Structure 1
Amino acid sequence: MSDLIKRSISLSGHRTSIALESEFWAVLDAMAQERNLSFAALIGKLDASRPPERPLASALRVAALQQALQQASDNS
C-alpha cells in the first residue's frame, strides 16, 4: 500500500478533504469514468448513499473494494 493522498472536493456546498491510498483513488477514478460521471458526482452519490455512522473515507474504500471484487468475479 502506498502513502495517503489527500484530495479536496465540494460536497453539498461544503469543501472537504479526503485521504486515501493511491490504489483506492485509482479504482474510484475508473468507477467515475465507467459510469460517465465526474469524479465529484461519483463521490457525491457515494456520500449520499452511505450510512450516517460510516465515515466518508471508509465508505469510499468499501465502494472501491466492492468494485474491484466485482471486476475480479466478472473476469473469472
Structure 2
Amino acid sequence: MSAVEKRSVTIRGHRTSYSLEKPFYDDLVAIAAERKLTLAALVAEVDEARPRDTNLSSALRLHVLAWAKHGTASTPTRNTSMEPP
C-alpha cells in the first residue's frame, strides 16, 4: 500500500492542500497531460465541480476512478454527484 502524501497547489489565487496516495497522484498527472492542462488547472476544475460536503482529496480520487473506469477524464458536475456521464 502506498503512503498518503500531502501536496499543495494554488487555485483561484489561494493555496490549498490535498492528500493522495502516489498511484492516485500519478494518474492525476496523466489525466492533466492527456487534457493538456496543468495539474493546478485540473485540481481547480475538480474543486469547482465537487459537492461542498465532499473534501478535495476524495473528489480527486473519485475523478481518477471515473477516468480509470471510463477511459476519459471527464469532470463531474455538481448535478451528477460525482458520477461519470
TM-score bracket, normalised by the shorter chain, equals 0.7 to 0.9
C-alpha distance in structure 2 between counterparts of 1:2 and 1:8, whole Å? 19
Q: Which has the higher helix share?
A: 1
% identical equivalent positions: 45
**2:41 maps to what in 1?**
41
Divergent runs of 4+, >6 A: none
1:13 Cα offset (Å): 1.4
Deviation at 1:63, TM superposition (A): 0.3
Would you say 1:53 and 2:49 are equivalent positions? no
2:20 matched to which residue of 1?
20
Bigger RCO (CA 8 Å, 6+ sep): 1
2:64 alignment partner, SS class: helix
Unaligned runs of 5+ in 2: 72-85
- CA–CA distance in 2 between the matches of 1:40 and 1:20? 15
**TM-score, normalised by the number of residues in structure 2:** 0.79
After TM superposition, the score normalised by the length of structure 1 is: 0.87
Corresponding residue SS for 1:5: strand
Gaps of 5+ in 1: 72-76
1:8 matched residue in structure 2: 8
